Amino acid sequence: MGNTKSGALSKAILDDLKLNTKYTEEELCAWYATFLKECPSGRITKEQFEGIYASFFPDADPTAYARHVFRSFDTNADGTLDFKEYIVALHLTSSGKTLRKLEWAFALYDVDGNGTISKNEVQEIVRSIFNMIPVEDQKNLPEDENTPEKRADKIWTFFGKKEDDKIGEGEFIQGVMENKDILRLIQFDEPKKIQEKLKEKKH
């Protein structure tokens, strides 16, 4: 058996991640080696996480979005992510099964963690997503969703909500699953870019 070296990923975590993400053992071990190089303590801080997102999006400002993503995965609120939380975060934000992804999306939009989403919270996340879209690309957006406010209005209208209404998790997930437009509007979907960056980091 032998004791697990700190440089090796434990079999339990490896098996868990292989089961719950689409990554192979080879990919996970390579990422773990990179993770330990950048985070010798085995934990990644919010600032380091923001730095990783900044390297993914050099033409935009992903800081606010990265902060929200970090919050949604820092389940024990200790201000750090371990390797498992970090990989689950990357998996869910770039792929992942629809239901798990939507549960995560709800946590992302529930900024104050009170179990419901308000229109202000939708605006806050949408604004952070807009910061990640290069200015040139923003010019190509449809007229009725080319500002964070317009996009938040559109999402709220799709849900059939009044200005001060709230949305619970069940209603949020059902609404998104029934309306592809909401799904498109609530997410920042550049998984290819993130996947490519991760592959580069491995070599």
pLDDT in tens, 78-109: 899 999 988 888 787 776 567 888 898 999 99
Q: Which long-range contacts (CB under 8 A, 24 or more apart) does 16-23 make?
A: 16/84, 17/84, 17/87, 17/88, 20/88, 20/91, 21/87, 21/88, 21/91, 21/96, 22/91, 22/95, 23/87, 23/91
State the span(s) of the chain assigned CATH 1.10.238.10.
Answer: 12-95, 97-187
Angstrom distance (rounded) from CA 95 to CA 36? 24
Architecture of domain 97-187: Orthogonal Bundle (1.10)
| Average pLDDT per block of 10 residues along the chain, 203 residues long | 56 90 89 88 91 82 91 88 87 74 91 96 94 83 91 94 96 91 76 50 49
Fold of 12-95: Recoverin; domain 1 (1.10.238)
